[in-house]
Structure 1
Amino acid sequence: MRSALSDRPGPDRDLTTRARIRDAAITVFGEQGFATGVRAVAAAAGVSPGLVNHHFGSKDGLRAACDAHVLEIIRVAKTESLTRPSAAGLLQQLAEVEEYAPLIAYVVRSYQAGGTLAQSMFEHIVATTEQYLADGVAAGTLRPSRDPAARARYLTMQSMGSTLLFLQMRGEQGDSVDWGHAIRELTDEIMFPALELYTEGLFTDTTFLDAVVDQRAETTSDTKN
Structure 2
Amino acid sequence: MRSDNDADLTARARIRNAALELFGAEGVGRVSLRAVAARAGVSHALVLHHFGTKEGLRKECDAYVIALVRGGPGMEALDDPLDDTAGLGALLEAGAGVRRYLARAFLDGTPEAAALFDELVETTGRWLEQGVREGWAQPGEDPRARAAIYVTWLLAPLAFGEHLSRALGVTDLHDTDATLRYSRAAVELFTRGVFTDERALEAWDAVREQRRSR
Structure 2 counterpart of 1:90, from 78, 85, 91: 85
Could you say if the C-alpha distance between residues 96 and 125 of structure 1 is closer, same or farther in structure 2, counting changes exceeding 3 Å?
A: closer
Name the counterpart of 1:166: 164
The CA distance in 2 between the partners of 1:84 and 1:129, in whole Å, is 20
Question: CA RMSD, aligned part only?
Answer: 3.8
Residue identity over aligned pairs, in percent, reads 34
- What's the counterpart of residue 78 of structure 1? 74
Q: Does 1:27 align with 2:18?
A: no
Runs of 4+ in structure 1 deviating by more than 6 angstroms, as ranges, are: none
* Equivalent-residue separation in structure 2 for 1:213 and 1:198 (angstroms): 21
CA contact (8 A) 2:24 2:102 kept: yes
SS in 2 for 1:77: coil
Partner of 1:202: 194
For 1:106-155, what per-residue CA distance to the aligned partner results, in whole angstroms no more than 9, with x for missing partners? 223445xx4443xx465344323213312313433544544445334433
The answer to whether residue 39 in structure 2 is matched with residue 44 in structure 1 is yes
Name the CA shift for 1:214/1:169 in 2 (closer, same or farther; >3 Å).
Answer: closer
Structure scoring higher RCO (CA < 8 A, sep ≥ 6) equals 1
C-alpha contact 1:98 1:183 (8 A) present in aligned 2: yes
Name stretches of at least 5 consecutive residues in structure 2 with no aligned partner.
none
CA distance in 2, matches of 1:126, 1:149: 13
Q: What does 1:58-77 align with in structure 2 at a 5 Å threshold?
A: 58-75=53-70, 76-77=72-73
The runs of 5 or more residues in structure 1 that have no matched partner are 7-13
1:26 deviates by 0.8
1:185 aligns with 2:185: no
Q: Matches of 1:218 and 1:38 in 2, distance apart?
A: 58
Deviation at 1:16, TM superposition (A): 4.6
TM-score (norm 1): 0.66
Give the conservation status (yes or no) of the 8 Å contact 1:79–1:135.
no
Contact residue 71 and residue 124 of structure 1 kept, 8 A: no
Q: How many residues align?
A: 202
**What residue in structure 1 maps to residue 149 of structure 2?**
154
Normalised to the residue count of structure 2, the TM-score between the two structures is 0.68
2:122 to 115, 124, 131: 131
